[in-house]
Amino acid sequence: MAEMIETMASAAPAAEAPVIEQDPQDALQAHFQPNIAADEIEQVYHLKRAQPLLQVFTALFHGGFEGVLVRLLVLRELASDTSASAFTRADINTRLAYLLPESLETVLMRLRTHQLLAWDAQQAVYRVTPMARNVLSAIDGLLALGQTEDQAEMGFLLSQVAGGQAIGGVSVEQLQHLLGRLVDLTEEFSDAIASGSEFRLRESQAKWHMACDWVEKGSEILRAITSDENADGATHKAAQAIGRAQSALLNMQGMFSRALNQIERQRVHLGQSGLSTTDIKRWLLLHDDLASLAVGAIEQPVLPLFATPAEMIDVAETELLADRASGVVQGGLPTGTDAPTTINDGPAMQRELDDWLARLSDFAALGNFPSIAEEAPKSIPIQDSLLPASFAIASYRASMLPLLGDASEASLQGATAELARLPVVFTPTDEMIQLNDPHVAAMSLATLSLLPSLSLDPQPQPQGDKSDE
């Protein structure tokens, strides 16, 4: 019986490859415009060159999900056995005894026909082909990353770039896929911030943190790619675009914080209970069937019956207005009183902000901040700009510095928006510097610099006439 099965297996490839005449309507050219040749498109050339590999995926994933699952199951079971490089039909029947013989025979025939399994007629054994192992490795890598909590969905793309860079074969297409995912995430986070929804913001912020973790892991890989002298120009350009997209993604932390702070200021609390509308919405989201909450809580309301309700309302309104009119006529208008005197601290804070804005504007326009000089510096230490001042004023001025160059703040109106639009760059560091000041003992080492393209340089001196020389 075993010899009969092996004879059928050796003859199967010839029986499974009938010559089928191709329908002209299904030809590749039939999908293109009449004046366009399919072979002239670059991507068609690359895909046709990979036809053997693509046919392998077609053999695995063609048909329903159940058939795909059984094919992958058989191929994974055989490839995972590293104790032997070849399998007889008896070994396969023993290892896959939980499958029906007819189904197993159909799957083996399909895998053998598409070169996923190789049949050695001389030794009467099956072997897993190298192409099959490559395909399974790619699928297993994608399945393994799919089981992790990768909400940003960047792990597989970054692993492909890392693997290609490690063997010196990173392609522009792999970098473009990673760049496209970064652009998609940036747009998704921007839409979440613009929506104003607290729940969507917090969900996107959690995904943003996970994306930043992947960005940190991929930064070293990108530096290695950009520093590789053997990489071509397209690879360098794609890597630099990914770096810019990563920077834009990392800079969204301030946007998330400002949006959440704005929502926090607008949150409505229910009396003195400490509960807010956000707490109620979060509690409601925990229930799948909101209608069930009303069971036993809402009964048929009482319907009071009145005789001639419209007339009763008219009489009540007339009596009420008559009483009010008589009281006004008898008592007259109330005497005027002086408004209570209050002290408002707002103008003092506004004056301090206006003074700080005027000083920075003076520096941006004339280059003479903090002191007027003929050769003013274009970059000054931060302590020279914040001091002399009391600790409170210096702290207030320092809190305004991160607004310099903030694009989202610059698009608004007001004094802080004018501050954000100044051509001044605030450059902080992690180091500290000791100061000889009566109010501030130490301060972070930082500088204020003018933007050369935006700062107003002094007027050039008029040149003398050549005839006077």
CB atoms within 10 A of CB 214: 22
Mean residue pLDDT across the chain: 76
> Who contacts 178 (Cβ-Cβ below 8 Å, separation ≥6)?
154, 157, 158, 161, 218, 242
Of 242, 261, 280, at which residue does a domain stop? 261
Of 115, 138, 161, at which residue does a domain stop? 138
Is residue 90 one of the residues assigned to a domain?
yes
**Same domain, residue pair 104 and 6:** yes
**pLDDT of the residue at 373:** 46
Question: Could you tell me the pLDDT band of residue 245, with boundaries at 50, 70 and 90?
Answer: confident
**Same domain, residue pair 213 and 182:** yes
Is residue 416 one of the residues assigned to a domain?
yes
Buried b or exposed e, range 2-12, using 16+ CB within 10 angstroms:
eeeebeebeeb
**Same domain, residue pair 13 and 128:** yes
Is residue 385 one of the residues assigned to a domain?
yes
Is residue 446 one of the residues assigned to a domain?
yes
**Same domain, residue pair 111 and 177:** no
**Same domain, residue pair 201 and 131:** no
Give the β-pairing of 424-434 and 379-381: unpaired
The string of pLDDT tens digits covering residues 42-53 is: 888 878 887 888
pLDDT of 180 > 50? The answer is yes
Q: Which structure tokens are listed for 45?
A: 């050339």
Is residue 322 one of the residues assigned to a domain?
no
Range name among 319-328, 392-401, 405-414, 420-429 with the lowest pLDDT average = 319-328
**Same domain, residue pair 109 and 236:** no
Q: How many domains does the chain have?
A: 3
CATH number at residue 94: 1.10.10
Distances (CA, A) of 286 to 151, 275, 280, 340, 378: 21, 16, 10, 50, 58
Residue 169 backbone phi and psi in degrees, to 5: -130, 30
**Same domain, residue pair 179 and 53:** no
Is residue 84 one of the residues assigned to a domain?
yes
Question: Could you tell me the pLDDT band of residue 24, with boundaries at 50, 70 and 90?
Answer: very low
Q: Which structure tokens are listed for 318?
A: 């007339």
The string of pLDDT tens digits covering residues 189-216 is: 888 888 878 788 888 888 888 888 778 7
**Same domain, residue pair 66 and 40:** yes
Q: What is the pTM of this model?
A: 0.43
**pLDDT of the residue at 328:** 57
pLDDT of 343 > 50? The answer is yes
Residue % of the chain over a pLDDT of 70: 76
* Mean pLDDT score, 74-92: 85
**Same domain, residue pair 125 and 181:** no
Is residue 269 one of the residues assigned to a domain?
no
Distances (CA, A) of 325 to 217, 322, 378: 78, 5, 73
Q: Which structure tokens are listed for 397?
A: 């001025």
**Same domain, residue pair 55 and 127:** yes
**Same domain, residue pair 376 and 444:** yes
Of 202, 231, 261, at which residue does a domain stop? 261
d(CA 392, CA 72): 69
Length of the chain: 469
**Same domain, residue pair 199 and 80:** no
The string of pLDDT tens digits covering residues 115-130 is: 888 888 888 888 888 8
Question: Could you tell me the pLDDT band of residue 457, with boundaries at 50, 70 and 90?
Answer: very low
Is residue 315 one of the residues assigned to a domain?
no
**pLDDT of the residue at 197:** 81
Name which residue leads in pLDDT, 89 or 232. Answer: 89
Range of the domain at 43: 2-138
The string of pLDDT tens digits covering residues 424-436 is: 888 888 888 888 8
Is the bond preceding 423 in cis, omega lying within 30 degrees of 0?
no
